[in-house]
Amino acid sequence: MPSPAMNVDWLRRYCKSLPHTTESMQWGADLVFKVGGKMYAVAALEPAPVWLSFKCTPENFADLTQMPGIIPAPYLARASWVALEYEDALPAAEVKRLLKGSYELVLARLPKKARAGLAS
């Protein structure tokens, strides 16, 4: 089985392609992607119960958590975050679409001043 760190390369490239994305290590071996200092995705770099977590709309949350391999994200489900238990729970194109949606949801909720700071 390939290591999670190898599987996360395409994910890193995609998230870093979104404007103003920063990444940091948190909670040990979790790679956290943020915009304006607020996280929009978390990927496990070591074997863990979930591979990737991200924010979604309440409607998507209800639909996605009915699918095999997708659960309410531990600690973040109340904020409409879902977690993929393994990389192939969804096709890569769908993961990218949902990550872009997560990024946009978080960006839209940033205070006006923070959004203005990103624009400059």
What is the reported pLDDT for 18?
95
pLDDT at residue 115, rounded to an integer: 82
Name, in order, each residue with C-beta under 8 angstroms of 46's C-beta and a sequence gap of 6 or more. 4, 5, 28, 29
Amino acid letter, 78: R
pLDDT recorded at residue 120: 59
**Number of folded domains in the chain?**
1
Residue at 116 is within a domain = no
Determine, yes or no, domain membership for 114: no
Render each residue's pLDDT in the chain as its tens digit; 120 residues.
344 444 688 999 999 999 999 999 998 889 999 999 999 999 998 888 899 999 999 999 999 999 999 999 999 999 999 999 998 899 989 999 999 999 999 999 998 888 888 875
For residue 115, being part of any structural domain is answered with: no
Q: Which domain holds residue 100?
A: 4-109
Let me know: does 14 contact 49? Beta carbons within 8 Å.
no
* CATH classification of the domain holding 68: 3.90.1150.30
